[in-house]
Structure 1
Amino acid sequence: MSIPLQSSPIMPRRLRAAALTLTAALLLAGCGGGSAPTTFDLTAPRDFGRVGASRATLVVQEPTTVQALDSDRVIVRDSSGALSFVGGAQWADRVPKLVQVRLIQTFENGGRVGSVARPGDRITPEAQLLTDIRSFNIDAASGTAVVEITAKLVGDRTGEVRRARLFTARVPAGAVDGPAAAQALDRALSQVLIEMVRWAR
């Protein structure tokens, strides 16, 4: 014996509510849940003048760094050492890639070497510049932008380390927001890049 199915007035309302909820969720997902982050760039110093001519050829490798800094996020370090991101802010590219490009441009702006390039640019270098980014963040405890980069000049043929040095800069950051943090880190990096170019003689 079959029992005829009866429609329930409750089910359509539940289905409509579920459909509305799903639609709202999809709309929010499509919008990214908020506004897009503001993108900031780093600059290559130009106003430090020529620092001596040279015919040397130099290849600048992409800097190495820890995983936390190998990203496009603007990072804040608190007093306990914990890392967090500045909301609504990002760099134009990964930090190591941006630092490599701006370092090459700083060498060019200073007229320091005869030819400076990145790996794969089809030049025969006399030396390579190897760098490692130790810090590239806002220090929340002191309210400063901290940039620390180690550099090694290595003979291309011998692999011998000719010289090595740690470069450090700290710049007041003010409020820890996207524009203030990005500008302070850019100024700190500019100090480091100028010192590094003058050092690599």
Structure 2
Amino acid sequence: MMMMSRAARIMLLLLLTALSGCTGLANLSGVTTPTDLYVLSPKSTFSASLPQLRDQIVVQQPTATAAVDTDQIAVQPTPLQVQYLPGVRWVDRAPLIVQALMIESFENTGKVPAVGSSTIGLRADYLIVTDIREFQAIVPPGPDASALQIDVRLNIKLIDSLSDRIIGSRSFEEIVPSASDAPDDVTQAFDEALGDTMRDAIEWSIRTIAQHAATGEG
């Protein structure tokens, strides 16, 4: 077998290095394809008649189906089909977003002395248990497929931590039309639908907890 000269070995090494560098650049370009990220906002306006609580509240991480428990923005073209908006995502999984926004919204009422998640070790007088029943854009029947409707429905259960009893359970839903199927319009409609749903759920929760605490039931 013919032995490769030192100069030939150096040239081969340089060529392989250059080729691997090109492959690395191609891979880097592939994984940095831009994706638009969207956030949602907490609710900050509430009824002035809300009672003041003395109790601490823990908002547990909401449950949701696999179709919703994702950072992708769900769209239902038919009642039995789920797709996702291409090229866009939420900044986090939907249940984590809803949990964080509910905590901040409870704080914004100014009626709760302490509210947080179970991960911070807060001693809870009451638990807020949320199930996300609907959190998607729906394509309504008819010729205009761009007229999406955003459906947000939350089921809220209030649990007295001392007695481990459910003191209230209720569902809250808002359906908001999107101006178009453009991501900016869709996420704006999501923000409005979730905000209205959270406002109703939080006001009901505070009033129900206040009534329960006042009666001394346990």
Same fold (TM over 0.5): yes
Residue in 2 that maps onto 1:54? 53
Paired residues in the alignment total 185
The one-letter amino acid of 2:84's match is: F
Residue deviations 1:132-187, cap 9 Å, x none?
00111101126211001100001112221100001100111122221111111111
Cα deviation for residue 28 of structure 1 reads 4.6
**In 1, are the aligned partners of 2:77 and 2:138 still within 8 Å (CA)?**
yes
Residue in 2 that maps onto 1:162? 167
SS at match of 1:197: helix
Residue in 1 that maps onto 2:149? 144
User: Structure 2: where are the runs of 5+ without partners?
Assistant: 1-18, 141-146, 208-218
User: Structure 1: where are the runs of 5+ without partners?
Assistant: 1-19
The one-letter amino acid of 1:154's match is: I
Identity %: 27
Q: Scaled by the length of structure 2, what TM-score is found?
A: 0.77
Q: Scaled by the length of structure 1, what TM-score is found?
A: 0.83
Structure holding more helix per residue: 2
Residue deviations 1:79-138, cap 9 Å, x none?
242111111111111110010000011111112322111103232211101000011110
In the alignment, the residues of structure 1 paired with residue 159 and residue 179 of structure 2 have an alpha-carbon distance, to the nearest angstrom, of: 38
SS at match of 2:184: helix
Which residue of the other structure, out of 9, 14, 39, is the alignment partner of 1:41? 39
Residue in 2 that maps onto 1:97? 96
Which residue of the other structure, out of 149, 158, 163, is the alignment partner of 1:153? 158
In the alignment, the residues of structure 2 paired with residue 121 and residue 177 of structure 1 have an alpha-carbon distance, to the nearest angstrom, of: 38
Which residue of the other structure, out of 148, 173, 178, is the alignment partner of 2:178? 173
SS at match of 2:85: strand
Residue deviations 1:61-95, cap 9 Å, x none?
00001111111111101124211111111111111
